[in-house]
Amino acid sequence: MDQNEEFISAAQSPTIERFEVTHTAPSNIALVKYWGKHAAQLPANASISFTLSAAHTTSKVVFEKSTTPKVAVVLEGVHTPAFEPKIEQFLDRIRLYCPFLKGYSLQIDTANTFPHSSGIASSASGMAALAMAVVSLEHTLGGIREADKTRKASFLARLGSGSAARSIEGPIVSWGEHAELPHSSDLYATKFAQSHEVFNDYHDCILIVHKGSKKVSSTLGHSLMNNHPYKDARFEQATRHMSKLVHALKKGNLESFIAVVESEALSLHAMMMTSSPYFVLMEPQTLMVIKAIWAFREETAIPVCFTLDAGANVHLLYPNQHREPVHQFIEGVLKKYCEDQFYINDRCGTGAN
């Protein structure tokens, strides 16, 4: 049987007139990066992330029965048609698995806790919140059991934005088949439940070095991996990094954790610097922050490290027990490299609800 078949809903038609629901879903930050995909949003390699908490999206979704179904998106109180094609595309992709959607118009009222100009992508949290809403409707229609909701939400979120699959649960989540993760799948993410206590309540300070939207969209970035000269080496490296990180997470080995996480961030950027066309997504301040983090770690032996997304902002990761000296370091040293001195104190969270 095709593995996707189990995700086709038992609810075939829209049997209730109107359904309204609100869900909140967090952003996440990858420790081993997903960069490269094939077919219907299937990852070229497995990835693993910290689910965040402060940076999240809340969406109220009203499903209304209609013979001419439409989508309307209201972002922070303002009708924003620019977002609607992305949602339409998402609904097209998931309709096979949620046939009941065919009869509904959707009104989505959405808001992020982070400023949308801040350079933090809202696609993971936004798609995860919307997937949760669709699954809530499916459950109300009797199409899915309570016990299967989380997996289905991750499966649907993946079809919206790959990394969104990792925003349903927390605090540590993997997505993509990997030999050392027995229940892992390319179709949905699963919670990594064996981490050492040092990773309970890990912090992520998001240093906003550059506000504004991403220079390279994820869609373009992933597609540049298709003919990338280093693609095979990169996918093998990510697979090796997953093994190393899984061990580090289990044992609480921070030295090994830091080595993998920083290498992953730099590899992601190296892929963009060596693709055709090529891109440099770091800003001068990105490097200044990285060097300051290394100097602080060297001087204090406090196990801080950095990671990067596909942009200039830096995520500073550190264990809860070191929060006081690290806060002083952020205020005293790192803040000045941030645009308008803006940063977000975030930490690992438990996922969508």
Summarize as ranges the residues that interact with ligand PMV (CB under 6 A): 30, 33-35, 47, 123, 161-163, 218, 309-310
Q: Is 126 exposed, middle or buried (0-12, 13-18, 19+ CB in 10 A)?
A: buried
Least Cβ distance, residue 235 to ligand PMV (angstroms):
13
Nearer to ligand PMV, 11 or 52 (CB): 52
Least Cβ distance, residue 301 to ligand PMV (angstroms):
29
**Alpha-carbon distance 114 to 81, whole Å?**
20
Calculate the alpha carbon distances from 58 to 85, 127, 212, 274, 288 in Å.
20, 11, 21, 37, 34
Nearer to ligand PMV, 9 or 122 (CB): 122
Nearer to ligand PMV, 86 or 335 (CB): 86
Nearer to ligand PMV, 223 or 243 (CB): 223
Least Cβ distance, residue 308 to ligand PMV (angstroms):
9
Least Cβ distance, residue 216 to ligand PMV (angstroms):
10
**Alpha-carbon distance 204 to 306, whole Å?**
9
Nearer to ligand PMV, 9 or 41 (CB): 41
Nearer to ligand PMV, 154 or 163 (CB): 163
Least Cβ distance, residue 290 to ligand PMV (angstroms):
17
Pair of tokens at residue 59: 């969406």
Q: What are phi and psi of 212, to 5 degrees?
A: 105, 165
Least Cβ distance, residue 326 to ligand PMV (angstroms):
24
